[in-house]
Structure 1
């Protein structure tokens, strides 16, 4: 599905409302009056803390502070955020050390759910990836229509490319583009930083190289680095290969019984509800919107709840009648 700005409902749809309503008891006192009567937290969650593991891009852009502050203000519950690449974030959750996970690599999210570690996944927001490089553009990729063509040209010219090399969502997308280009990257021109997006952008800038970056992190750091966007992503009409959707999923309480499932679902309900989606939509840096909410839509993607290749037992297509006639 092509990336586009969605038409948001003026009122929370029934599905999103139900998700948050399911946690109403968690955030209210016995009388249902919201604890202290002014929208604060109820006695049930005093002293509790939500543990979130998420990507470096949500942290580097400042979005994480914004949404977590809104959640804490609304419910009085602090959020302990662990900022990692997607692969590391999911490993933290597999180890039972997170209540909720916010990442951007659907194939890894699917594997996490298929293993039984996660439940109740929701589409949350999107932005896109861009290919950035120095102003003199030694490989001559500026304006290239395809991401794979740009990568192939960088490799052909052996121009420095800084890869995160950290099993993050960004790294996974990068490897997918190399595969599409028919190039197996390696050699002196290919630098694996093993770092987050911000550090990788800095290294690419310092060494006059190229890299793949999520648009949000690039915008947040563009005043501090000497790199520019040379190949756009789909937010600005570029190829769909550079799409960057984010999902959010709760740790499965049947597998990780010590995790706070109720609080995780409260957080998911808040971020995918109208208030949380408004925070995401209205967050800007230097007048530019960094992320685009997509949890509330007039045309919801029902595939968000299960792994993309999931089929019912027996291979019956979803929606078919399995009843004997």
Structure 2
């Protein structure tokens, strides 16, 4: 398979999807009208719709499409497990716990008015994610096995779920609904200021992740071979953890706990390419993630009975992929 021509086709299709995401919605907008918006010739209503709603949503989809698949790719290569994903270290669960504390506890202690601040949920989610990162990194210095880190991640996720369950049990029904709505995930509603911060965290995580590609490639032939090339395994694992945490934390904080994307996209790229070249896989995961998230963003808009939550679309897409992984790797996935 000629990889580079296909890659350029994928980039072209992704750009087309980005433009289409600005056009598709409850109110259809032609490409010529979009062109007028960016030229400054459109009326105020059309400019506001495209610039402050659809463009921000499309850029959010782009950033989520970068962060979660790259996180999944790094996790799968680090743990040598095709079922590893961004939530495997408990980062997503701790983000959910942070949001649950704000939604459930603030109403109990009389701070409910602060929930109207759009930054509050984002801060709570990000703080929970960073707390998980600190725990995992602290433990990674004491634990040599990557498999043990996965187990600890599951335990962190279990504890977070238990605390969330306790709060839900005593919370009023309207607060439970608010938490469930956040759990569906959303690509819309971000301001340009929030989008700027989201972009900063995502590209910080991406830049850090680039330093791991050489080590990941060497690890394909075993840890001893990697060490013979001068690869510091502990340092590389730490860099992967930091990069993954930054990417997952920012995506969860600004878009909610979006599932399956980080697991399915790297698997699709490996299946199509069948290559051990990590740089090739990395760039394909990068662009393919953007492609699918833009596609999912469009699908949420064309649903006839209202805007469909993004997590429903990703679950419908990702669940068959997980089943195929289990069927095709039954001797490897344990």
Q: TM-score, normalised by structure 2?
A: 0.24
Structure showing the higher helix proportion among its residues: 2
Q: TM-score, normalised by structure 1?
A: 0.24
**Structure with the larger RCO, 1 or 2 (CA within 8 Å, 6+ apart):** 2
Structure showing the higher strand proportion among its residues: 1
